[in-house]
């Protein structure tokens, strides 16, 4: 899967550009770009780079997410209280799931048993049972001020959430839906990315100029490194080689490539 982040000038919001490296030899898979203020998603032809369609979603779609089974791209419509499921190959809407309160950000567990959402405006993380068709709210966990982005470990055991306005990183046990620990971060923590062995978490600091690295392998988390990338470090995307990740630096309008093993910036690119 290939993913990149760009600035959507039409809406004035940061959009997510999602290009899927799926096994469809007969046709190129489309690219999806969020238009948050327009409440829709642009479908882009990856060969001509022309917009071929616009898909209505719900109010303020903030994030796109490819499900672990790669069968759906899910659009989280924060003010619409809905999720829009789109076929990543055909760009056809599969279904709309309603009554999902303030789904600013979301993650499925790798085993596809849980859908977890961050209610950014309402200060809670919600756990929904997923049977492949329907969602059932199991628990709403009060987390603190402004849960922003989520990451789930490879074992489907723990979900991590950044607290945007209280400058914290929180870990929640998925089986019990109980908070395990919380630790202070730098200013305005945003996206999270976990290392392949689940030992380290990389946290982008939108209010700072880089990425914090936390060791979460023990009973208590430890901040072990800081990687200077650029002002407004925000969102991560994998490079696809299980070693490198990209982070968008909103204020600096650059993208940094990070080697997770070193860890250090190995390349930097100008962005629109």
Q: What is the mean pLDDT of the chain?
A: 91
More confident site: 60 or 15: 60
pLDDT band at 9 (very low <50, low <70, confident <90, very high): very low
The 10s digit of each residue's pLDDT in 60-69 is 999 999 999 9
Residue 200 host element (H or E): strand 200-205
Beta bridge partners of 126: 117, 140
pLDDT digits (tens, 9 = 90+) for 167-194: 999 999 999 999 999 999 999 999 999 9
What is the C-alpha separation between 66 and 24, in angstroms, rounded? 16
pLDDT tens readout for residues 16-42 = 445 544 444 456 899 999 999 999 999
Write out pLDDT tens, residues 101-147.
Answer: 999 999 999 999 999 999 999 999 999 999 988 899 999 999 999 99
CB 78 within 8 A of CB 69: no
Inform me whether the pLDDT recorded for 6 exceeds 60. no
Structure tokens at 259: 């080697």
Sheet holding 147-152, edge to edge: 147-152, 158-163, 168-173, 178-184
pLDDT at 27: 62
> ω into residue 263 within 30 of 0, thus cis?
yes
This prediction's pTM: 0.90
Residues 125, 116: Cα–Cα separation, whole Å: 7
User: What CA–CA distance (Å, rounded) separates 203 from 87?
Assistant: 30
């Amino acid at each position: 899967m290939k993913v990149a982040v760009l600035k959507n000038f039409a809406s004035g919001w940061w959009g997510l550009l999602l290009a899927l490296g799926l096994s469809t030899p007969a046709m190129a898979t489309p690219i999806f770009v969020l238009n948050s203020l327009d409440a829709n998603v642009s479908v882009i032809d990856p060969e001509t780079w022309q917009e071929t369609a616009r898909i209505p979603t719900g109010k303020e779609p903030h994030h796109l997410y490819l499900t672990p089974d790669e069968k759906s791209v899910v659009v989280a419509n924060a003010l619409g209280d809905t999720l829009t499921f789109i076929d990543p190959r055909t760009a056809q809407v599969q279904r709309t799931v309603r009554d999902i309160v303030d789904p600013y950000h979301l993650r499925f567990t790798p085993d596809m048993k849980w859908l977890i959402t961050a209610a950014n405006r309402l200060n809670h993380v919600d756990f929904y049972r997923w049977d492949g068709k329907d969602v059932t709210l199991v628990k709403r966990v009060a987390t603190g001020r402004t849960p922003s982005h989520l990451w789930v470990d490879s074992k489907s055991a723990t979900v991590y959430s950044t607290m945007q306005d209280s400058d914290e990183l929180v870990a929640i046990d998925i089986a019990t839906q109980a908070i395990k620990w919380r630790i202070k971060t730098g200013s305005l923590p945003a996206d999270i990315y976990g290392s392949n062995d689940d030992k380290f978490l990389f946290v982008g600091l939108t209010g700072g100029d880089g990425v914090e690295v936390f060791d979460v392998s023990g009973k208590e988390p430890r901040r072990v490194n800081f990687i200077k990338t650029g002002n407004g470090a925000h969102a991560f995307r994998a490079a696809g080689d299980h070693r490198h990740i990209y982070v968008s630096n909103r204020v600096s309008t650059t993208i940094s490539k990070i080697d997770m093993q070193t860890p250090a910036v190995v390349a930097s690119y100008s962005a629109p």
